[in-house]
C-alpha cells in the first residue's frame, strides 16, 4: 500500500518531465548497448586471436633441448668442492635430439586422468629443391588423426584432405606460402633434401593456411612414418610429445611435474605464449573501462536531471512533507525515479546490445590469413549481460542517491514561508 | 462532549541566527481546547507564523514544549513527527500548494493514502464527501491548474480534512484571495467549527476575519499581548 503510493508519486513526477526522463533513459540505453557490444566484440576478437595460437598449441610440450650439461665432469670428481670451479668455453655435447623411451612416456601419459590427449611429433629441418634454388623449411611429422582431434588441424587445411597424409605414402601438406613460392599444385611431387644430405620425393596432397604468413612460408606436414623415413630413423624416433589437458589452467603445474617424472624438458602453454594472455587481458580491461565510463557519463546525466527535477518540484516536496510524508518517503520517491530510469534504460540497452552484436556477427569478414572466419567474431557471453544489467542499476542508484538525499532533507518551512 | 486540550504550548522561545541572533519568540505559552476556533493576529514580523510552524511540528529548532493531544513533541524523530502531521494536523497555507501532477481528487486523497488507515475506495469516498462539504465536488476530476484561486484553496482545505485531523492550522489562508473568495473560505471554516466541531488555529493579519472567530490571540514582538 505504502510502496504503491510511493510508486504513484514517483511515476507522476517522472511523467511531469517525461522528455528529460526519456533522454536520461536513452543515455543509459546507449551506454549499456555500447558496453555489451564492445565487450562481446572485443571478447570475440580475443577468442579468435587466442584460438589462432592457443588451439594449435599443446598445453604441455615435452621435448629435449640441446643444452650444456648442468653437471660438468669436474663436478663428479669433487664431491665437496672447497671453492668454485670456473670452466671456460663450455659447449653442448653431441646428444640425440629424440626422446628416450617415447613410447612408454606416451602410454603412461594417456593413463593420466588430467590428459585429454597426447600427440607425438617430429620436427625435421629440410631444404625444398626448386630448380637450382633450395628453400629452407621444416617438416612436422604428425599423427593426422590425433592432430586434428586435439589441435583442429583440418581447420587450417584449406585444400586437399588431411587424412591423405596417412593414406597416401610419402605425402606432404605444404604451407600455402611455401607452395606459392615453389609453384606447385596438389598432386605434384616436390624434392626434399634433409640436413644429412639425403634426397626424397614427396607428393603434395594439400595446402594449409595457419593465419600466420611467416609460418606458412616454411612449415609443412607429413605423417610420422614418412618423417622417420626421411630422417632415416627408427620407429620410436619422436622429438616432441604434445599434451592437451582437460583444463588449460592446469598446464603450469603439470608441466613441472612431468619434467621431474620423465626427466625431460616440458614447457606449458602459458609460459610459451605469455604475450597472448597479456594481450587478451589488456584488451578486456580496456573494453570494461570504456563501457564503465559510458555508464558513469549516463549516471551523471541522470544525476543532473534528478537535481533539476528536485529544484523544480521543491514546492511539491515541501507540501508532501507538510502533509505527513517523512524524509524517507521522499527519498524513496526519488530513488524509485532513478531506478526506473535505470531499469527501463538498462533493459532496452541489453536488448540493443544483443541486437547490435548480432548485427556485427553477420557482417562478412573475409581475410586471407583466417580461412575459417567468415564474419566478425562475437562472443555472446551471458556474463556481459549480467554485468551490464547490474551496473546500470548500480550507477542509476548512485546517481539518484545524492539528489534523493538532498530532497529528503528539504526543510518545508523554508519553502512554504518563502512564498 | 467534554472539552479537552488539543494543543498546548509551554514557554516556547525561538531564535533566528542569521544575520545576527534575534529572539523571535519569547516564552509563548497558551493552550487550545477541542472545537475552539482561534485566530492569531499581530503585525508582520511579530512571530505568529514562526509560532505556527513550531506548533505544526515542521520546525523543530525551538526551546520549550509543544504538546499535541497530550503527547510532547520534543525528542520525536523526523518520521514520527511526519506521522503526527499526517494523522492529527490539517494544514492550509496562504498558497494552495496542490500537486499539479495529480487531479483534485488525488490531491485530496494523498494524505489519506499515506496514512493508510482506510482502503483506497473508502478514502476516495471520503474525499468526495469532503469536496461536497466544500461545494466543489464537480471539480473532482479536474487538474488543479484548471481551477480558480478560490477553488484551489477549497481543495487545499479538503485535503487538510481528509484524515479527520484533531486540529486544522491555517497560515493566512485567505491572504491570497479576493474579498468574495475570502468570504467563502471564512464561511467554510465557520461551518467546520460550528457544525463539525473542528478545532481551528488560524494565523491572519486580517482583523475583520479574526473578529469573527471565537477567540483571538494577539501577538507583539514575540510575546502574547492579549489572549
pLDDT at A419 over 60: no
- Output the pLDDT for position A356: 93
Q: Which residues pair with A201 in a beta bridge?
A: A191
B155 domain residue, yes or no: yes
Chain B: residue whose CA lies nearest to A327: B79
B110 contact residues in A (CB cutoff 8 A):
5, 320, 323
Domain containing B190 equals 35-60+75-226
Interchain CB distance below 8 Å, B82 and A326: yes
B4 domain residue, yes or no: no
B114 contact residues in A (CB cutoff 8 A):
2, 5, 323-325, 329
Interchain CB distance below 8 Å, A326 and B58: no
Which of B78, B99, B100 lies closest to A327 in CB terms? B78
Interface of B with A (CB under 8 A): 49, 53, 56, 58-59, 78-79, 82-87, 91, 93-95, 97-102, 110-111, 113-116, 159, 171
Q: At what angle do helices B104-115 and A2-16 cross, to 10 degrees?
A: 150
Task: ipTM value, please give it.
Answer: 0.84
Interval B79-130: pLDDT, tens:
888 888 888 888 888 887 888 888 888 888 888 888 888 888 888 888 888 8
CB A117 within 8 A of CB A146: yes
Interval B136-182: pLDDT, tens:
888 888 888 888 888 888 888 889 888 888 888 888 888 878 888 88
Interchain CB distance below 8 Å, B58 and A1: no
- pTM across the whole model: 0.72
CA distance A8 to A11: 5
Q: How confident is the model at residue B1 (pLDDT cuts 50, 70, 90)?
A: very low
Interchain CB distance below 8 Å, A323 and B111: yes
In which residue are the cell numbers 603412461 written?
A108
- Output the pLDDT for position A87: 83
pLDDT at A388 over 70: yes
Provide the 3-class DSSP secondary structure of residue B155.
helix
pLDDT at A319 over 50: yes
Chain A: residue whose CA lies nearest to B120: A1
- Cis amide bond preceding B19, omega within 30: yes
B172 domain residue, yes or no: yes
Which of A2, A5, A419 lies closest to B94 in CB terms? A419
Total of domains in chain B: 1
Interchain CB distance below 8 Å, A413 and B58: yes
Interval A116-142: pLDDT, tens:
889 999 988 899 988 888 889 999 999
Interval B10-45: pLDDT, tens:
888 888 887 788 888 888 888 888 888 888 888 877
CATH number at residue B168: 3.40.50.300
Mean pLDDT lowest for which of A78-92, A129-143, B203-217?
Answer: A78-92
- Output the pLDDT for position A263: 84
More confident residue, B104 or A416: B104
What is the percentage of chain A residues whose pLDDT exceeds 90?
12
| Beta carbons within 10 angstroms of residue B27's beta carbon | 15
B41 domain residue, yes or no: yes
- Output the pLDDT for position B10: 86
B113 domain residue, yes or no: yes
CA distance B110 to B116: 10
- Residues A163-175 have a mean pLDDT of 90
CA distance A407 to A332: 10
Which of B94, B116, B159 lies closest to A323 in CB terms? B159
Which of A316, A411, A412 lies closest to B99 in CB terms? A316
- Output the pLDDT for position B65: 86
Range with the largest mean pLDDT of A255-259, A271-275, A283-287, A299-303: A255-259
- Output the pLDDT for position A355: 94
B56 domain residue, yes or no: yes
Q: Which residues pair with A122 in a beta bridge?
A: A141
Amino acid at each position: 500500500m505504502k510502496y504503491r503510493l510511493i510508486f504513484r508519486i514517483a511515476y507522476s513526477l517522472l511523467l511531469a518531465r517525461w522528455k528529460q526522463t526519456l533522454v536520461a533513459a536513452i543515455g543509459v540505453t546507449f551506454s549499456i548497448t555500447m558496453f555489451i557490444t564492445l565487450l562481446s566484440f572485443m571478447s570475440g576478437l580475443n577468442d579468435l586471436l587466442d584460438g589462432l595460437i592457443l588451439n594449435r598449441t599443446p598445453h604441455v610440450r615435452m621435448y629435449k633441448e640441446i643444452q650444456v650439461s648442468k653437471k660438468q665432469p669436474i663436478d663428479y670428481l669433487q664431491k665437496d668442492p672447497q671453492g668454485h670451479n670456473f670452466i671456460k668455453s663450455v659447449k653442448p655435447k653431441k646428444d640425440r635430439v629424440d626422446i628416450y623411451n617415447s613410447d612408454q612416456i606416451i602410454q603412461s601419459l594417456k593413463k593420466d586422468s588430467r590428459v585429454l590427449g597426447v600427440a607425438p611429433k617430429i620436427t625435421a629441418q629440410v631444404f625444398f629443391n626448386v630448380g637450382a634454388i633450395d628453400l629452407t623449411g621444416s617438416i612436422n611429422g604428425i599423427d593426422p588423426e590425433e592432430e586434428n582431434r586435439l589441435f583442429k588441424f583440418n581447420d587450417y587445411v584449406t585444400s586437399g584432405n588431411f587424412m591423405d597424409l596417412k593414406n597416401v605414402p610419402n605425402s606432404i601438406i605444404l604451407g600455402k606460402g611455401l607452395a606459392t613460392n615453389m609453384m606447385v599444385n596438389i598432386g605434384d611431387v616436390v624434392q626434399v633434401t634433409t640436413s644429412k644430405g639425403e634426397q626424397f620425393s614427396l607428393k603434395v596432397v594439400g595446402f594449409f593456411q595457419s593465419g600466420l604468413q611467416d609460418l606458412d612460408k616454411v612449415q609443412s606436414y607429413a605423417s610420422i612414418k614418412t618423417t622417420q623415413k626421411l630422417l632415416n630413423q627408427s620407429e620410436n624416433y619422436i622429438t616432441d610429445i604434445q599434451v592437451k589437458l582437460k583444463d588449460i589452467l592446469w598446464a603450469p603445474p603439470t608441466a613441472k611435474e612431468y619434467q621431474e617424472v620423465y626427466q625431460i624438458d616440458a614447457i606449458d602453454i602459458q609460459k610459451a605464449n605469455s604475450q597472448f594472455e597479456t594481450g587478451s587481458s589488456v584488451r578486456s580491461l580496456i573494453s570494461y573501462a570504456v563501457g564503465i565510463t559510458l555508464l558513469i557519463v549516463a549516471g551523471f546525466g541522470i544525476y543532473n536531471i534528478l537535481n533539476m527535477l528536485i529544484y523544480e518540484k521543491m514546492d511539491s516536496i515541501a507540501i508532501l512533507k507538510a502533509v505527513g510524508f517523512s524524509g524517507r518517503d521522499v527519498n524513496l520517491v526519488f530513488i524509485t525515479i532513478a531506478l526506473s530510469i535505470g531499469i527501463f534504460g538498462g533493459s532496452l540497452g541489453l536488448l540493443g546490445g544483443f541486437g547490435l552484436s548480432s548485427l556485427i556477427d553477420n557482417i562478412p569478414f573475409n581475410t586471407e590469413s583466417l580461412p575459417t572466419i567468415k564474419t566478425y567474431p562475437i562472443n555472446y557471453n551471458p556474463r556481459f549481460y549480467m554485468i551490464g544489467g547490474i551496473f546500470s542499476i548500480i550507477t542509476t542508484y548512485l546517481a539518484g542517491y545524492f539528489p534523493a538525499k538532498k530532497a529528503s532533507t528539504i526543510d518545508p518551512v523554508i519553502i512554504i514561508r518563502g512564498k | 462532549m467534554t472539552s479537552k486540550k488539543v494543543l498546548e504550548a509551554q514557554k516556547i522561545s525561538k531564535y533566528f541566527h542569521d544575520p545576527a541572533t534575534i529572539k523571535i519568540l519569547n516564552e509563548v505559552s497558551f493552550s487550545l481546547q477541542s472545537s475552539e476556533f482561534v485566530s492569531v493576529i499581530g503585525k508582520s514580523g511579530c512571530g505568529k507564523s514562526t509560532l505556527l510552524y513550531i506548533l505544526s511540528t515542521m520546525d523543530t529548532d525551538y526551546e520549550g514544549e509543544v504538546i499535541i493531544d497530550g503527547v510532547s513533541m520534543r525528542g520525536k524523530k523526523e518520521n514520527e513527527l511526519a506521522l503526527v502531521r499526517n494523522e492529527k494536523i490539517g494544514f492550509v497555507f496562504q498558497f494552495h500548494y496542490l500537486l499539479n501532477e495529480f487531479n483534485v481528487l488525488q490531491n485530496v486523497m494523498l494524505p489519506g493514502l499515506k496514512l493508510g488507515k482506510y482502503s483506497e475506495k473508502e478514502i476516495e469516498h471520503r474525499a468526495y464527501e469532503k469536496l461536497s462539504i466544500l461545494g466543489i465536488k464537480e471539480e473532482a476530476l479536474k487538474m488543479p491548474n484548471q481551477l480558480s484561486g478560490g477553488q484551489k484553496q477549497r481543495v487545499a482545505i479538503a485535503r487538510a480534512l481528509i484524515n479527520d485531523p484533531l486540529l486544522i492550522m491555517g497560515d493566512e489562508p485567505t491572504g491570497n484571495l479576493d474579498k468574495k473568495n475570502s468570504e467563502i473560505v471564512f464561511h467554510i471554516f465557520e461551518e467546520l467549527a460550528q457544525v463539525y466541531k473542528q478545532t481551528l488555529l488560524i494565523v491572519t493579519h486580517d482583523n475583520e476575519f479574526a473578529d469573527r472567530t471565537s477567540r483571538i490571540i494577539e501577538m507583539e514582538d514575540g510575546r502574547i499581548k492579549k489572549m
